[in-house]
Amino acid sequence: MSYSESVHALDNRHGRAAKPGRDDIILRNGIIFGFFAALLVAGPGVAQTVGPETGKPIPRYETLRFDTVRMRKGPGRSYPIAWLFKRQGLPVQVFREYQDWRQVRDPYGDIGWIKRTQLSSARYGLVREDRAPLYRKAEDDAVIAVRAEAGVVLRLSECSTNWCYGSAKGYGGWVRKEALWGVAPEEKFKGD
C-alpha cells in the first residue's frame, strides 16, 4: 500500500474521502528532505564505521570470553546453534551489532551471532603460519626468541605498523602482523 493509499484508508475510517492536500505534501517533502539530509551528512560511499549499540568501530576484533561459547544462526536464543567454540581467547571479527548480539566472522570464515556478554575486548591473535618466528625485537634480523605453531593463540599487548608483541604460556616475542589473524593491517595499539 502506498503512502497516499494509507492516508486514504485512514481518512475513510472517518467517513470522508481523502485528497492529497497540503499536509500530505508537507509530510512527503519532509520525508524527502530528511532522506537527502542524511545522505549529505553521511557523505558518498561511506559505510557504517561505528556500531549503533556500542559506538565502537565496525569492523573490529574481539575475543571469546569463555572456554565454551555458542555461535548462533541469528541474533537470539531462539536461533539454532551453528558452532560451539571451546577456546577462550579465540579472536573473532565483529562486523554488525543488533541489540545485545554481535554478528561475527571466525578465523575460518564462518559467520554467526554471539551474545555480547560472551565476547571480550582483550586482544589475542591466532597464528596463521606454521612455525612463525617470534623475535626479541620488532626487526626481521633480530634474534628469534621462540617459534609458534599455526593455531596458537597469542595474547597481544602491543601492535605497531607491521609488528605485534604476543605471548602464550610464558613465551613471547614480536611477530609480523601478516602471520596473525585478529589484527587489522592498519591497526595500532599499546597496552590493554
Going from the C-alpha of 148 to that of each of 86, 91, 128, 135, the distances in angstroms are 20, 17, 9, 11
Residue spans of the chain under pLDDT 50:
1-46
- CATH class of segment(s) 125-190: mainly beta
Q: What is the pTM of this model?
A: 0.72
pLDDT value of position 24 = 43
Domain ranges of the chain: 3-42, 60-122, 125-190
pLDDT value of position 180 = 97
Per CATH, 60-122 and 125-190 having the same topology is answered yes
Only one residue has cell 554478528, namely 103
pLDDT value of position 109 = 96
What's the CA gap between 98 and 109, in Å, rounded?
A: 20
pLDDT value of position 192 = 56
Q: Does domain 60-122 have CATH number 2.30.30.40?
A: yes
